[in-house]
Structure 1
Amino acid sequence: MSDQSQQPISSAEPVEAHGSIRLVEENCTSCMICARECPAWCIQIDSHTEQVTGEGGAPIGGAAASSTSGYARARQRSVNVLDRFEIDWSLCMYCGICVEQCPFDALEWAGPHVSSAPSLDGLVQGREQLR
Structure 2
Amino acid sequence: MSEFPGKGLAKGLAVTLKTMTKRSTTRQYPDTPPDLPPRSRGVIALVEENCTVCMLCARECPDWCIYIDSHKEEVQVPGAARARQRNVLDQFDIDFSLCMYCGICIEVCPFDALYWSPEFEYAEYDIRDLLHDKERLGDWVETVPPPPAHDTNGEPAKEETAARKTQLAG
TM range (shorter): 0.7 to 0.9
C-alpha deviation, 1:14, in angstroms: 5.7
State the SS of the aligned residue for 2:125.
coil
Q: Which residue of structure 2 aligns with residue 89 of structure 1?
A: 96
Instruction: Report the TM-score when normalising by structure 2.
Output: 0.59
Q: Which residue of structure 1 aligns with residue 8 of structure 2?
A: none
**Is contact 1:89-1:114 (8 Å) kept?**
no
Identity %: 47
Q: Which of the two has greater strand per residue?
A: 1
Give the alignment partner of residue 49 of structure 1, picking from 50, 64, 72.
Answer: 72
Instruction: Report the TM-score when normalising by structure 1.
Output: 0.75
Amino acid paired to 1:80: N
1:60-95 deviation digits (Å, cap 9, x = unpaired): 54xx4xxxxxxxxxxx52100000000001001111
Matched, 1:101 2:108: yes
Measured at CA, do residues 7 and 114 of structure 1 come closer, stay the same or move farther in structure 2, by a change above 3 Å?
Answer: closer
User: Quick one: distance in 1 between partners of 2:118 and 2:76?
Assistant: 37
Give the alignment partner of residue 3 of structure 1, picking from 15, 19, 27.
Answer: 19
Measured at CA, do residues 93 and 25 of structure 1 come closer, stay the same or move farther in structure 2, by a change above 3 Å?
Answer: same
Measured at CA, do residues 117 and 26 of structure 1 come closer, stay the same or move farther in structure 2, by a change above 3 Å?
Answer: same
Q: Which of the two has greater helix per residue?
A: 2
- Which stretches in structure 2 are left out of the alignment for 5+ residues? 1-15, 139-170
C-alpha deviation, 1:52, in angstroms: 1.7
Amino acid paired to 1:9: T
CA RMSD of aligned residues (A): 2.4
C-alpha deviation, 1:121, in angstroms: 1.6
C-alpha deviation, 1:9, in angstroms: 3.3
State the SS of the aligned residue for 1:3.
helix
Q: How many residues align?
A: 115
Higher relative contact order (CA 8 A, sep 6+): 1
Q: Which residue of structure 2 aligns with residue 35 of structure 1?
A: 58
Amino acid paired to 2:91: R
The structure having more radius of gyration, on CA atoms, is 2
Measured at CA, do residues 54 and 96 of structure 1 come closer, stay the same or move farther in structure 2, by a change above 3 Å?
Answer: same
**Is contact 2:93-2:131 (8 Å) kept?**
yes
